[in-house]
A and B are shown apart, each in its own frame.
Chain A
């Protein structure tokens, strides 16, 4: 499974949706994921890929990690994975 598909699967599970309902343009808000759901998603992604995501729940906008929509999250994970294997 690609990184993108895996991230979408994790986000879909958190949102209690089917992966097909999650588009790259969806925002977490669109998907009904609140702040607790967000930290839980971040945790699940970290566990899945064995990475550390630079996300601070106090100030999500100021984090180095862009969570503005699913595409941004996937891109961020891909970058972290590339750094990890580099």
Chain B
């Protein structure tokens, strides 16, 4: 088995248009959640979200590209450019032939569905643009990354709702680890902040109207976000040989299924995923200094997740830090694990723990060190990133400092 390291990272989300901007916002505990701004927002009961601001596709992409790129693809390409640029890799010959792209998204081109349903149902049109299908398909973003950077190896898209990115990154990790590919581009993106995308979530009645306050006793639900996180996963010797800057090592992962309920999370499923990731990485539980929580801010998730952490870590649960950055960037659904991995990298590389902001009242059912409201300096050698999806599909990644 080969060691796998991260040699590039890129993002765009409500906190910033780059990794540097995002990490600065996390260090400052800044909130990227605000009033939603799109057509028919007045017909929504939920009017807040972690929307990407100041992002104009015009100018970044040419007319032909604009016709083919849904917003989730635009986010992906923007983040991929930053990540691959940082890695310094150029793909040609054998490297191109064996390197690929595995991305996560829950909804794919949601706003393309939304816009075109509106045209045919509401406006009564009988003809849609010829690129509707290639624009909305879930693998569109992965395909455009492969085309843009000449990645000719295994590429596909994973959809496991809110765990999509973590499942995708776990898969990419495995492919590099077992020598199938020397480099994989991975992560995920989501762009559901349009009328239909928010209306669908409203139906579940798990959304907050004012803020995302994970682990706080007065939490009242989740808040949607949007954006992308993209990483370059590279075989360690390959990275070392070319003198690449290594951000962190991907040490292990585990995936589990609750096999129980389509929406309610299971403590056992979450605990088995965390314990599995530790075992896969070969680390002891007391080596874990930080967990980036799934931490959605719903009653169900947060207490189940905290109970699972207590089960897995025993007395060490009181020594480790666990925070939910969703309080700042919102829940990016299929892209969330990718943006949240940045907080793990910051903990390992910079020794800065991103806070859980909006924390107002302790909850006895979430009695862990949730790094409330202010970032903290701490030396961390191993970090976990949790993602527990609707449908009971869980994926946890373990990262190690290099």
Partner-B contacts on A (CB < 8 A): 16, 36-37, 39-40, 42-43, 46-47, 52
Q: Which residues of A contact B63 (CB under 8 A)?
A: 16
Q: A16 vs B131: C-alpha distance in the bound complex, in angstroms?
A: 18
Nearest opposing residue in chain A for B127, CB measure: A46
Q: Which residue, B67, B129, B130, has most C-beta atoms of chain A within 10 A?
A: B130
The reply to whether B130 and A40 contact each other, CB–CB distance below 8 Å, is yes
Q: Which residues of A contact B64 (CB under 8 A)?
A: 37
A16, A37, A43, A52: the one within 8 Å of B129 (CB): A43
* New A-B contacts (13) at CB < 8 Å, excluding given A16-B63, A40-B67, A47-B127: A36-B130, A36-B131, A37-B64, A39-B130, A40-B129, A40-B130, A40-B131, A42-B130, A43-B127, A43-B129, A43-B130, A46-B127, A52-B127
Q: Which residues of B contact A52 (CB under 8 A)?
A: 127
Q: A46 vs B127: C-alpha distance in the bound complex, in angstroms?
A: 9
Q: What would be 16 A-B contacts, judged by CB atoms less than 8 Å apart?
A: A16-B63, A36-B130, A36-B131, A37-B64, A39-B130, A40-B67, A40-B129, A40-B130, A40-B131, A42-B130, A43-B127, A43-B129, A43-B130, A46-B127, A47-B127, A52-B127
B197: min CB distance to chain A, Å: 25
Q: A36 vs B63: C-alpha distance in the bound complex, in angstroms?
A: 13
Q: Which residue, A40, A42, A47, has most C-beta atoms of chain B within 10 A?
A: A40
Nearest opposing residue in chain B for A13, CB measure: B63
Q: Which residues of B contact A42 (CB under 8 A)?
A: 130
Q: Which residues of B contact A40 (CB under 8 A)?
A: 67, 129-131
Q: A46 vs B129: C-alpha distance in the bound complex, in angstroms?
A: 11
Q: A16 vs B67: C-alpha distance in the bound complex, in angstroms?
A: 14
Q: A40 vs B67: C-alpha distance in the bound complex, in angstroms?
A: 9
Nearest opposing residue in chain B for A34, CB measure: B64
Q: A39 vs B68: C-alpha distance in the bound complex, in angstroms?
A: 13
Q: A36 vs B129: C-alpha distance in the bound complex, in angstroms?
A: 11
Q: A42 vs B67: C-alpha distance in the bound complex, in angstroms?
A: 15
Q: A39 vs B133: C-alpha distance in the bound complex, in angstroms?
A: 13
Nearest opposing residue in chain B for A52, CB measure: B127
Q: Which residues of B contact A37 (CB under 8 A)?
A: 64
B69: min CB distance to chain A, Å: 13
Q: A1 vs B64: C-alpha distance in the bound complex, in angstroms?
A: 26
Q: A16 vs B65: C-alpha distance in the bound complex, in angstroms?
A: 13
Q: Which residues of B contact A36 (CB under 8 A)?
A: 130-131
Q: A37 vs B64: C-alpha distance in the bound complex, in angstroms?
A: 9
In the complex, per-residue mask of B52-71: 1 if CB is within 8 Å of any chain A CB, else 0: 00000000000110010000
Q: A13 vs B285: C-alpha distance in the bound complex, in angstroms?
A: 61
Q: Which residues of B contact A39 (CB under 8 A)?
A: 130
A1: min CB distance to chain B, Å: 21
Q: Which residues of B contact A46 (CB under 8 A)?
A: 127
Q: A83 vs B129: C-alpha distance in the bound complex, in angstroms?
A: 24
Nearest opposing residue in chain B for A39, CB measure: B130
Nearest opposing residue in chain A for B128, CB measure: A43
In the complex, per-residue mask of B123-151: 1 if CB is within 8 Å of any chain A CB, else 0: 00001011100000000000000000000
Q: A19 vs B127: C-alpha distance in the bound complex, in angstroms?
A: 26
Q: A66 vs B29: C-alpha distance in the bound complex, in angstroms?
A: 62
In the complex, per-residue mask of B100-132: 1 if CB is within 8 Å of any chain A CB, else 0: 000000000000000000000000000101110
Nearest opposing residue in chain B for A41, CB measure: B130
A57: min CB distance to chain B, Å: 8
Q: A46 vs B64: C-alpha distance in the bound complex, in angstroms?
A: 19
B162: min CB distance to chain A, Å: 34
Nearest opposing residue in chain B for A57, CB measure: B130
A4: min CB distance to chain B, Å: 23
Q: A40 vs B129: C-alpha distance in the bound complex, in angstroms?
A: 7
B209: min CB distance to chain A, Å: 40
Q: A36 vs B65: C-alpha distance in the bound complex, in angstroms?
A: 12
Q: Which residues of A contact B129 (CB under 8 A)?
A: 40, 43
